A = this chain, B = another copy of it.
Amino acid sequence: MSDSPLLAPGASELFQLLRDGSPRTRAELAKSTGLARSTIAARVDELMRMGLVTAVADKVSTGGRPPSQFALNPAAKVVIAADLGASHATVAISDLAGTVLAESSERIDIADGPDAVLGWLLDGARRLLADVGRDDASVAAIGIGVPGPVEHSSGRPSNPPIMPGWDRFDIPGWLQEHIAVPVLVDNDVNMMALGERAGAWPSVDNLLFVKIATGIGAGLVSDGHLQRGAQGVAGDIGHVHVARGGDVPCTCGNRGCLEALASGPAIARNLRGIGVEAHTASDVVELVKRGNVEAIQAVRQAGRDIGEVLTTCVSLVNPSMIAIGGSMARVGEHLIAGVREVVYARSAPLATAHLSIVQSATGAEAGVLGAGMLAVEHALSHDVLASSPVRV
């Protein structure tokens, strides 16, 4: 997913072959990658010394010859994965196959700033490491999703509107003073898109993940690759003006934005306007689950507003799936019905002929799954494999 320019030639091919867990011979690895036998031998030896790859016994005895097949050892290392939201955070420990070994969630306030929040993250991760019988030395990489734009190359938040004190803060640098491993930071919705795809739809190459919660944003996977855009702010669809938007003020300073109409707090505000008591996304979800007609209507209309923006997205990038996630997605079909109503009515037939619009299958796990996956991919493809010099 992360196409690093520093990747050693052929390293990513080798990784892609090994990470499926199937054992392969050196000759198979050389044939599949086109790499020189000497390069393969050097890499495999180094990976074995590090414990990342293990020798696998042949099915048929080779009469005393050394084992000739190799496979990834998912237990060799772990990664720390974290999903930091505005008011809620999750930290987890995953193995190299992306399986979550331990996880904990807590209410936080991202506005407490980096020292407090990253301190919480580090303490939590170390407790979880101890729970699964590991320590700092077992950690291969750290992946973190944050609720704002991130300069992907440096891991620094870039003018994040709801993260006071975090602008340009060196998140990797802070963590590496404690655990000296690669730290991957990305926008939380990008992480959710990666997690949703890896966890639920690995064969979907054109996926638009839409998070609807306190804010609204999207993560875009096109042709199998996460798209971050020129400034790393691809997917920031919450501030598109919608027809029903009028002069409704938005937190961004503009008026009539999608987020000002269809986010959790916006729906709650609209409900209060007609005398229904609701303050948060959770309140709205509760009302819908209890069958409150006004809440159901408000959610359906929010779905239509979101659908209006998604219609243009569908026309531009032609995804085969839109997955709706975030805390508001828990209201279920009423929201998605509104989205479908507009997208299917307004898009060109060819773009929607094979388009599925579904509720996120990974739910609250999407972000932490994606953060773990990004950390695993980076650890295995870049820092480990690229550190093995190519000898040809």
Contact = CB atoms under 8 A, between A and B. Distances in A.
Interface of A: 3, 8-10, 13, 30-37, 39, 149, 158-159, 205-206, 218, 220, 222-223, 225, 227-237, 239-241, 243, 252, 254, 309, 311-313, 315-320, 346-351, 353-355, 390, 392
Chain A at the B interface: mostly helix, strand, loop or mixed? loop
A227 B317 contact: yes
B318 A234 contact: yes
A47 to B, nearest CB: 16
Contact of A9 (B32, B220, B241): B32
Contacts of A319: 229-230
A390 B225 CA distance: 28
A223 B231 contact: no
A9 B34 contact: yes
A13 B7 CA distance: 13
Number of copies: 2
B228 A225 contact: no
A87 to B, nearest CB: 22
Contacts of A230: 205-206, 318-320, 354-355
A228 B392 CA distance: 37
The 4 closest A-B pairs by CB, nearest first: A229-B318, A9-B34, A230-B320, A36-B36
A309 B254 CA distance: 17
Contact of A315 (B158, B225, B240, B243): B240
A382 B234 CA distance: 32
Nearest to A227: B222
A143 B37 CA distance: 38
